[in-house]
């Protein structure tokens, strides 16, 4: 019982409530509302309450659901001409009660929705009335209005498209040409539809932004909001982001009426461009919409792309126009036949022949006999109904018969028959003219409202307000919640932290209030997504291995994963590490490599200058180039000095004092804590005999 009942319920919800029919683009409640409005149509406005009451003859549900569906259609301003307070799609304000507002069909709706002679009818739920199975819609109305519904096990979300673009696409399809359809939202906004992918289920996606105008350094104005977002929800999202410290604003004013108008006042010193990007990143000023075009085709749900729906509707329009032309041609031929019979009946005074007939049968036989000589002038055989119709002609009409007018009327009918037959023979061309005429009559009322553009997703960490400070304490704990440590730099709660420990392990992690970064790291700083820094590294591989140097970039990375910058040999030691924003800064670094005297030479130490500009930039996993295989005493940066003479300055083996004027973040001790802008670290071996004698001559390789 459960299985049967649930299947019946699911089928009912899918077919009769939530999913639109591809034939006319309507859900049952919408179709019944329009049918009821057509029954009530007299050119004047009708109370919505009256329309709802008449619709309940066909729709077996409550008045609230009918009124809500009617208001939803009325707010789209395509099929229903409204009067009164119908709510506001920008603010989300509801419509007035149905007894206060009025509606009637638009001229466009009358022209494209109704054609009783080609409509298939069925009995209503109580058997007392007839309702259309589907309205003969001669327009891709489903794509113009859009649709949304949640059924059992599936849902439908069809985005609205532009009226004129749908006509152009229909004409292109009829001509066998390619076309592309993109959404157009009634609320406007800016849309990136590069990934729309024909609105196919599971793959299509569009990004829609509010239109934000920078009025001044202290004022932003929102004039259009994204589709499905109201001004109230938009303002709430901005206030929420401001309270979380992601956006700095002074106050918000909502002046929305017929058009959206939201004023965002900025505090002094704010960057309006950055705030604009932050609004896209942290509020509903940018939303992502995933279409899911599900429609009822042959009484079954089916997922299609919007191009498939348009092709179906354009072909359906052609078929409906064909049926209308065939019916019109049949009616014209019948009218010509009736007019010709009447002309023959009166001109030849056949009505006088039936004066002496005493029975109805003899009357019919006499008229039929008198018509036989003139049968050749007719296009179809004479039936008993035709003869009976001749007997109903009034004497007044016979007395006023004008043969000249009758001939002109027949000539006019001949022209109409010829034109109708021509339209049938050139049906595709006729359908194209139909669409062009619709565009000419109504297209000016539906300009494109949504601007088509291409924009990248905003990096939230890039535009977040840096209202926190990154600290690190003596125990190796870092974060913006560590207040007793050393201040490193300003940051936001969405930034990434780059850490290089004194073993040469690089790691990037999301900033937190407090996390363990390691004691005395070589580097801890904030790294932005658009930054691509260059690192210089000089290390000894193991206790007695060669000295390597390398320049590298981070490349791709996974957060919280450790990346070794050395070969991870035991007792590896880092002698030089520097961090640079640009390649030029990295290439400008030069160092002196002090090599230990092993006793084979009388000199106490050798000095080998090394320039990092000689190295190509590689990836972080490269081992680097060998600088020397000799034991290393220390490495010190060569400091640029101003020219005082043409003679070159003598190099000494004095230790670097750390007084780097270009780059003050020089640390002589490997145990020294990082500075606010840690860029250069030079490590030295301890000297058993004290520091080298500056008076000693140095040997340059």
DSSP, res 94: P
Listed in sequence order, the residues at least 6 apart from 238 whose beta carbon sits closer than 8 Å to its beta carbon are 247, 249, 252, 264, 279, 283, 285
Task: Kindly report the number of other CB atoms within 10 A of residue 695's CB atom.
Answer: 6
For residue 329, is pLDDT > 90? yes
Higher pLDDT, 603 or 450: 450
Stated pTM of the model: 0.72
3-state secondary structure (DSSP) of residue 184: coil
Task: Kindly report the number of other CB atoms within 10 A of residue 469's CB atom.
Answer: 14
Higher pLDDT, 399 or 687: 399
* Dist. CA 309–CA 129, nearest whole Å: 31
Res 304: pLDDT: 92
> 286: closest CA among 250, 241, 249, 243?
241
DSSP string, 680-696: EEE-BPPPTT-SPPTTS
Mean pLDDT in the chain? Answer: 85
Domains and CATH numbers, the chain: 2-182+293-308 (3.90.199.10), 206-289 (3.30.1360.40), 315-445 (1.10.268.10), 466-682 (no CATH)
Let me know if 2 is a catalytic residue: no
Highest mean pLDDT among 5-9, 454-458, 488-492, 532-536: 532-536
Handedness of CA 316, 320, 321, 325 (dihedral sign): positive
Res 247: pLDDT: 86
Rounded to the nearest 5°, which phi and psi values hold at 364?
-65, -40
The number of CA neighbours under 13 Å toward the Cβ of 10 is 12
3-state secondary structure (DSSP) of residue 667: strand
> 132: closest CA among 35, 51, 60?
35
Average pLDDT score over residue span 529-554 = 88
Strands (E), 565-683: 573-580, 590-596, 605-611, 617-619, 625-628, 632-637, 666-667, 680-682
Distance in Å from the first CA to the final CA of the chain: 94
Rounded to the nearest 5°, which phi and psi values hold at 193?
-115, 25
Handedness of CA 336, 338, 344, 349 (dihedral sign): negative
Average pLDDT score over residue span 270-292 = 90
Res 544: pLDDT: 87
Res 642: pLDDT: 54
* Dist. CA 693–CA 675, nearest whole Å: 30
Res 153: pLDDT: 84
CB 205 within 8 A of CB 290: yes
Highest mean pLDDT among 168-177, 505-514, 580-589, 609-618: 168-177
Average pLDDT score over residue span 221-248 = 90
CB 306 within 8 A of CB 198: yes
Strands (E), 234-371: 251-254, 262-265, 286-289, 294-297, 300-303
For residue 51, is pLDDT > 60? yes
CB 625 within 8 A of CB 667: no
Backbone torsion region of residue 349, taken as left when φ is above 0, otherwise alpha when ψ lies between -120 and 50, otherwise beta: left
For residue 640, is pLDDT > 50? yes
For residue 241, is pLDDT > 70? yes
Share of the chain above pLDDT 70, in %: 88
C-alpha R_g of the chain: 43
Higher pLDDT, 645 or 47: 47
For residue 668, is pLDDT > 60? no
The string of pLDDT tens digits covering residues 94-107 is 999 999 999 999 99
The string of pLDDT tens digits covering residues 345-375 is 888 888 888 888 888 989 888 888 888 888 8
Which residue in 2, 5, 45, 100 is the catalytic one? 100
For residue 653, is pLDDT > 50? no
The number of CA neighbours under 13 Å toward the Cβ of 483 is 1
CB 353 within 8 A of CB 366: yes
* Dist. CA 130–CA 120, nearest whole Å: 10
Strands ordered across the beta sheet of 590-596: 605-611, 590-596, 632-637
Res 108: pLDDT: 95
Q: How confident is the model at residue 422 (pLDDT cuts 50, 70, 90)?
A: very high
For residue 683, is pLDDT > 90? no
**Count of H-run helices and E-run strands, the chain:** 17, 35
Res 661: pLDDT: 32
For residue 697, is pLDDT > 90? no
Backbone torsion region of residue 198, taken as left when φ is above 0, otherwise alpha when ψ lies between -120 and 50, otherwise beta: left
Task: Kindly report the number of other CB atoms within 10 A of residue 471's CB atom.
Answer: 21
Res 469: pLDDT: 81
Res 698: pLDDT: 29
Res 203: pLDDT: 84
The string of pLDDT tens digits covering residues 139-192 is 999 999 999 988 888 889 999 999 999 999 999 999 999 999 999 999 999 999
Average pLDDT score over residue span 554-575 = 87
CB 495 within 8 A of CB 461: yes
């Amino acid at each position: 019982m459960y299985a049967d009942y649930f299947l019946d319920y699911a089928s009912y919800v899918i077919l009769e409530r939530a999913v639109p029919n591809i034939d006319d683009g309507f859900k049952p409640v919408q179709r019944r509302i329009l049918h009821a409005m057509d029954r009530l149509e007299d050119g004047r406005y009708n109370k919505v309450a009256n329309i709802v009451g008449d619709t309940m003859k066909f729709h077996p549900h409550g008045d609230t659901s009918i009124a809500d569906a009617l208001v939803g259609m009325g707010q789209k301003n395509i099929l229903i001409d409204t009067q009164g307070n119908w709510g506001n799609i920008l603010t989300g304000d509801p419509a007035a009660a149905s007894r206060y507002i009025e509606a009637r069909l638009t001229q466009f709706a009358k022209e494209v929705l109704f054609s009783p002679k080609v409509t298939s009818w069925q009995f209503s739920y109580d058997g007392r009335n007839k309702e259309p199975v589907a309205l003969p819609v001669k327009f891709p109305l489903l794509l113009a209005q859009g649709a949304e519904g949640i059924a059992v096990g599936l849902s439908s979300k069809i985005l609205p498209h532009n009226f004129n673009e749908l006509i152009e696409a229909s004409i292109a399809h009829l001509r066998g040409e390619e076309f592309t359809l993109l959404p157009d939202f009634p609320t406007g906004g800016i849309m990136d539809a590069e990934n729309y992918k024909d609105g196919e289920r599971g793959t299509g996606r569009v990004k829609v932004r509010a239109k934000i105008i920078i009025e001044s350094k202290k004022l932003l104005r929102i004039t259009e909001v994204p589709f499905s977002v109201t001004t109230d929800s938009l303002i709430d999202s901005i206030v929420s982001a401001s309270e979380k410290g992601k956006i700095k604003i002074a106050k918000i004013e909502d002046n929305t009426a017929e058009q959206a108008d939201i004023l965002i006042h900025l505090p002094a010193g704010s960057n309006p461009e950055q705030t604009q990007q932050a609004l896209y990143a942290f509020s509903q000023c940018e939303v992502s919409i995933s279409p899911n075009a599900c429609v009822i085709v042959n009484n079954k749900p089916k997922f299609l792309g919007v191009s498939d729906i348009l092709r179906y509707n354009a072909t359906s329009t052609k078929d409906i126009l064909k049926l209308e032309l065939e019916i019109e041609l049949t009616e014209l031929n019948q009218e010509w036949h009736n007019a010709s019979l009447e002309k023959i009946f009166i001109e030849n005074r056949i009505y006088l022949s039936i004066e002496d007939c005493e029975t109805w049968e003899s009357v019919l036989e006499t008229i039929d006999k008198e018509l036989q000589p003139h049968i050749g002038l007719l296009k179809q055989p004479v039936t008993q109904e035709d003869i009976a119709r001749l007997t109903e002609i009034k004497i007044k009409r016979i007395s006023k018969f004008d043969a000249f007018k009758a001939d002109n009327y027949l000539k006019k009918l001949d022209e109409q028959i010829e034109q109708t037959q021509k339209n049938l023979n050139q049906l595709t061309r006729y359908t194209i003219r139909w669409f062009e005429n619709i565009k000419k009559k109504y297209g000016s009322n539906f300009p494109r409202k949504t601007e088509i553009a291409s924009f990248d997703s905003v990096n939230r960490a890039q535009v977040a307000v840096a209202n926190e400070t990154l600290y690190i304490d003596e125990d190796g704990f870092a974060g913006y919640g560590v207040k007793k440590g050393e201040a490193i730099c300003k940051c936001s709660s969405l930034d990434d932290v780059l850490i290089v420990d004194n073993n040469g392990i690089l790691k990037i992690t999301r900033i937190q209030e407090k996390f363990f970064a390691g004691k005395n790291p070589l580097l801890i700083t904030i790294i932005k997504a658009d930054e691509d820094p260059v690192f210089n590294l000089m290390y000894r591989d193991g206790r007695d291995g060669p000295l390597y140097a390398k320049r590298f970039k981070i490349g791709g990375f996974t957060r919280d994963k450790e990346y070794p910058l050395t070969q991870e040999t035991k007792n590896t030691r880092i002698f030089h590490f520097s961090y640079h924003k640009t390649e030029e800064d990295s290439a400008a670094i030069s160092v002196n490599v002090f090599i230990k005297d092993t006793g084979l030479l009388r000199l106490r130490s050798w000095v080998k200058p090394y320039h990092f500009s000689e190295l190509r930039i590689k990836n972080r996993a490269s081992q680097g180039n060998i600088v020397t295989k000799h034991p290393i005493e220390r490495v010190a940066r060569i400091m640029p000095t101003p020219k005082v003479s043409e003679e070159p300055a003598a190099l000494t083996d004095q230790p670097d004092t750390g007084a780097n004027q270009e780059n003050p973040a020089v640390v002589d001790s490997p145990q020294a804590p990082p500075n606010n802008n840690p860029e250069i670290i030079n490590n030295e071996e301890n000297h058993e005999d004290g520091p080298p004698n500056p008076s000693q001559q140095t040997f340059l390789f």
